[in-house]
Structure 1
Amino acid sequence: MRPLIGVTTYVEPASWGVWHDLPTALVPQAYVEAVTLAGGRAVLLPPDDLDADVLRALHGLVLSGGADLGPQLYGAEPEPLTDTRPDRDGAELLLARAALERDLPVLGVCRGMQLLTVAAGGTLHQHLPDVLGHERHRPAPGVYGTHTAAFADGSRIAGLLGDEAEIHCYHHQGVADPGTLLVTGRAPDGLPETVEDPARRFLLGVQWHPEVIRDKRLFGALIDAAGG
């Protein structure tokens, strides 16, 4: 059987057919295809903060991208441009913490990397242009930024991608303090691009969107760790 990989979903207004602006649990098909092409079976997980029992049936977890995390989760007040989804925050932190307790393989993508950081006691920058002085990580609505990321020698990410790689990113928040996680990749401006926990079976957060190119190196590593 292919490893079952849970993928967290968005809840956003969506329209199809005769239906318009219905609250809908969804995720870009790119995530599903990335898991499938790497040899796994994607299982979509809508926000549910009652328990994390679904992890008993899963072999791995992808924490997907999306809206900003609530800053109260890391002891900060919201800034004007922070756009949150409290239903996702509660449900996904529950899943992330339970996955860490079980040592379940986890890949965090963009918001997912930030979620892992907060779960590990870290903090975020709420609006990167205020910190970095540029908007290259989210150059325009719906337009991915592209730049290189450099990776630490001996890290898991370097073992998968080499010393550096060109990445596609779309975010206006970023990691300020990684908590107990290890920063193993950075953008040219110094922003953390990857976090890891070498003591775990597979825990990797990336600040970019590898699903866009169906990156078999990252999703394949998750599947391999999950027993694929």
Structure 2
Amino acid sequence: MSKPLIGVTTYLDRARWGVWDMRAALLPAPYPRLVQESGGIAVMLPPDAPEAAAAVVARLDGVVIAGGADVEPVRYGAEPDSRTGPPARERDGWELALIDAALSAGTPLLGICRGMQLLNVALGGTLVQHLDGHVEAVGVIGRHAVKPVPGSRYASLVPELAEVPTYHHQAVDRLGAGLAASAHAEDGTVEAVELAAPAWALGVQWHPEMGEDLRVMRGLVEAAEAASSTVGRA
């Protein structure tokens, strides 16, 4: 059986390497490492025309919406807070289209940090534009405890209170349609969201790629493997 093909979205930003200084599609190396160590094949999904999303998802067994810039508040009907970062409109449009395509096709979907927030927004939810205590320092990954909601998909993957790598200043406010909170921080912040079965759609507010715990990504990869077997792509 071939390994499932997992698409991971990318940044689109200016970067420098060697003699070059230009706009680039970027993906921190821990993302593909996590996919690979969890049993999948990672492919990068740089921003594209939203109308291409369904055709892209049709070629994949699973989708990861990676972390990154704050979601533009207009996407959830809010005015920008002074502490909200500059928008990444190309990513917002592309990734919202990927989420819609994955949910429509029943393709397993994992949102990480920004990706969880975007999943919530895609389903009509809203965000808290700033909260304190979830960033240790600028450019420094912190850690805090996350408690699973019993009976949730997340709890089936990680049943215990777990310390997770964290770096975010925004969070879920009103949950999107069909989403349920499946983990919380000690201060009550929603740390994971999911759709009910049979859909496999999970969002986590932390950064599993910055740790060694494979269980969340392995859950996506195993769901992608099962789905590809069902449609005869294995």
Q: Same fold (TM over 0.5)?
A: yes
Where does residue 231 of structure 2 map in the other structure? Answer: none
Separation in structure 1 between the aligned mates of residue 171 and residue 38 of structure 2, nearest angstrom? 27
Where does residue 166 of structure 2 map in the other structure? Answer: 169
The AA in structure 1 aligned to 2:220 is L
State the aligned residue count. Answer: 221
Relative to structure 2, which stretch is displaced further, 112-121 or 208-217?
208-217
Where does residue 8 of structure 1 map in the other structure? Answer: 9
Separation in structure 2 between the aligned mates of residue 215 and residue 40 of structure 1, nearest angstrom? 15
Q: TM-score, normalised by structure 2?
A: 0.92
Alignment of 1:75-114 (within 5 A): 75-83=77-85, 84-114=87-117
Alignment of 1:108-127 (within 5 A): 108-127=111-130
Separation in structure 1 between the aligned mates of residue 150 and residue 81 of structure 2, nearest angstrom? 36
Q: TM-score, normalised by structure 1?
A: 0.94
Identity score, percent: 50
In the TM superposition, residue 70 of structure 1 has moved relative to its aligned partner by 0.6
Where does residue 229 of structure 2 map in the other structure? Answer: none
Runs of 4+ in structure 1 off by over 4 angstroms are none
In the TM superposition, residue 145 of structure 1 has moved relative to its aligned partner by 2.2
Separation in structure 2 between the aligned mates of residue 85 and residue 218 of structure 1, nearest angstrom? 26
Separation in structure 2 between the aligned mates of residue 201 and residue 70 of structure 1, nearest angstrom? 26
2:103–2:199 Cα contact (<8 Å) kept? no
Would you say 1:30 and 2:26 are equivalent positions?
A: no
Separation in structure 1 between the aligned mates of residue 112 and residue 188 of structure 2, nearest angstrom? 19
Alignment of 1:60-209 (within 5 A): 60-83=62-85, 84-128=87-131, 135-180=132-177, 181-209=179-207
In the TM superposition, residue 192 of structure 1 has moved relative to its aligned partner by 0.1
Separation in structure 2 between the aligned mates of residue 200 and residue 127 of structure 1, nearest angstrom? 33
Where does residue 132 of structure 1 map in the other structure? Answer: none
Q: Which runs of 5+ in 1 are unaligned?
A: 129-134
CA 1:71–1:200: 2 relative to 1, 3 Å: farther
Where does residue 226 of structure 1 map in the other structure? Answer: 224
